[in-house]
Amino acid sequence: MNIVMYKGNFNYGVVSYFVDELVQVFRKRGHHVEIMDIVGLEIEEDKRGDELELAKIFKIDESVDLVLTFNGVGFIGDNELFHKFKVIFGALLIDHPFHQYERIVRTKPKNIFYSMYDEGAIATAEKYINSENIFTHLMHGGSYAKNSYIKKEYDVVVIGGLDERYLNIDNVVDQYIGDELGKIAKKLYEKASKDYCKTLDEHLEGIIKDMVLPDELIKMDQFKEIIRYIYIQVDLRLRAKTRYESVLWLLKNDIQVNYFGNCENEELRKYRNFIYHGSIGYEEVLDVMAKSKIIIHDVPCFKNGSHERVFSAMLNGALVVANYNNYSYNIYQDGESIVFYDINNYQDMVDKVKYYLENEQERLRIANNALEITSKYNTWENRADEILRVYEIMRGMRNSKEEVV
């Protein structure tokens, strides 16, 4: 099979690493893969409307079976070009689909699929973005560091950014959407803050249902765009809130936190046990994980999803301590292959972190169990095989339609 993978200006540098991992697996499976780096690609104005020229530029012809890209980078127009050359196009989303609203909403359901890292986002995409598209579930994969370490350099590590702007829900209401729509945003934020056992999508759907809005309004593009904006802003603030509060609780309880990522928060940085390392590349992140005893992971609830940091931490021998969640079909069990804490009770997190720092054998037992499960089910090699299965399904659907015609 001939595969083309696009690399572009991703918001996260880690995505290029994902591309390389998938390419290695596809080639290992015997497929021919070409990587096209579209960073800085400029298309002359007279060629933008010329399908044949665009096909040449983006390496699309009848010999290509599958084009893959993360977040739809390299997506051309309304995807008629892929349909014309019978090329299946897969957009692997690493964020909630609302972040790629503009791309998805203009897509025609021909030869294209979008994958979601959380199964719970599929219903939202179908209702508020484009009900005719093909959406599937594809989690992130974990990655191995180049080196392994018996002696761990770091006790407790937090990885990720913390943006000051997102610690206040009021600035969304005041600056952008006004009081009336702001009430929806505040209500969503308050409900989600009190109940992390539901996904943000479920909270949003509950609020809209309680408002008893007419179907005509819900189907309006303007309403969908407003809901998209509210969701993204609330999600960003929930993530900032949980990260800030979890780190602050650790610091207040005399636990040293090694923080990797952008963080300009003065309250956290005034603590002597807050060790700030700044931002690092993903390869360095993997190395840090391999040197860590415990990785703290805080994200809003998944229905059935993942984050690459969870899987990568496990693959590199760290114990993952995370708020209660459903990672990967619930195959990770509390106290056996992961340690969960109650995000509404940060003392629970503190107590568990202290316990597993003091009880090395228990920590290693759980970390080893997690490594065994993750290496079997949640690497990028697993994801590559899942993509190939989706391709076969898409090809079968396409061939069936052609036979009917």
SS3 track for 341-388:
ECCCCHHHHHHHHHHHHHCHHHHHHHHHHHHHHHHHHCEHHHHHHHHH
The two beta strands, 154-159 and 257-260, are: parallel
Of residues 191 and 44, more confidence is placed in 191
The answer to whether position 199 is within a domain reads no
Residue with token string 């399904």: 393
Of residues 335 and 14, more confidence is placed in 335
- In the sheet with 88-92, reading across from the earlier edge strand, the strands are 32-37, 2-7, 66-70, 88-92, 112-116, 134-137
Asked whether residue 282 falls in the same domain as residue 322, the answer is: yes
Q: What is the mean pLDDT of residues 305-312?
A: 91
Answer yes or no: are the C-beta atoms of 111 and 89 closer than 8 Å: yes
Asked whether residue 19 falls in the same domain as residue 97, the answer is: yes
Asked whether residue 370 falls in the same domain as residue 245, the answer is: yes
Of residues 103 and 312, more confidence is placed in 312
Asked whether residue 16 falls in the same domain as residue 160, the answer is: no
Asked whether residue 68 falls in the same domain as residue 50, the answer is: yes
For position 383, what pLDDT does the model report? 97
The answer to whether position 292 is within a domain reads yes
Taking the C-alpha atoms of residue 6 and residue 264, their distance in angstroms, rounded to an integer, is 33
Q: Model-level pTM greater than 0.85?
A: yes
- Residue among 255, 267, 247 nearest 164 (CA): 267
- HSE at residue 176, side-chain half, CA atoms within 13 A, is 14
Asked whether residue 13 falls in the same domain as residue 95, the answer is: yes
Asked whether residue 272 falls in the same domain as residue 389, the answer is: no
Taking the C-alpha atoms of residue 39 and residue 60, their distance in angstroms, rounded to an integer, is 18
The answer to whether position 261 is within a domain reads yes
The answer to whether position 106 is within a domain reads yes
Question: Residue 270's domain is classified under what CATH number?
Answer: 3.40.50.2000
- Residue among 358, 245, 242, 342 nearest 294 (CA): 358
The answer to whether position 128 is within a domain reads yes
List the domain range (segments joined by +) for residue 54.
2-141+381-404
- Residue among 117, 107, 55 nearest 86 (CA): 55
Number of domains, the chain: 2
φ, ψ (nearest 5 deg) of residue 14:
-60, -25
Taking the C-alpha atoms of residue 390 and residue 91, their distance in angstroms, rounded to an integer, is 12
Asked whether residue 263 falls in the same domain as residue 315, the answer is: yes
For position 329, what pLDDT does the model report? 78
The answer to whether position 229 is within a domain reads no
Which tens digit of pLDDT belongs to each residue from 127-140? 999 888 899 999 99
For position 180, what pLDDT does the model report? 67
The answer to whether position 343 is within a domain reads yes
Of residues 282 and 170, more confidence is placed in 282
Q: CA torsion 278→284→288→291, rounded to 10°?
A: -140
Asked whether residue 304 falls in the same domain as residue 161, the answer is: yes
Reported confidence tier of residue 405, pLDDT bands at 50, 70, 90 = very low
Asked whether residue 396 falls in the same domain as residue 281, the answer is: no
Reported confidence tier of residue 404, pLDDT bands at 50, 70, 90 = very low
Q: What is the mean pLDDT of residues 199-221?
A: 90
Asked whether residue 359 falls in the same domain as residue 244, the answer is: yes
For position 77, what pLDDT does the model report? 60
- In the sheet with 154-159, reading across from the earlier edge strand, the strands are 274-278, 257-260, 154-159, 292-297, 319-323, 339-341
Answer yes or no: are the C-beta atoms of 90 and 66 closer than 8 Å: yes
Task: Give bridge partners of residue 294 from the DSSP assignment.
Answer: 156, 319
Asked whether residue 133 falls in the same domain as residue 246, the answer is: no
The answer to whether position 160 is within a domain reads yes
Q: What is the mean pLDDT of residues 352-376?
A: 98
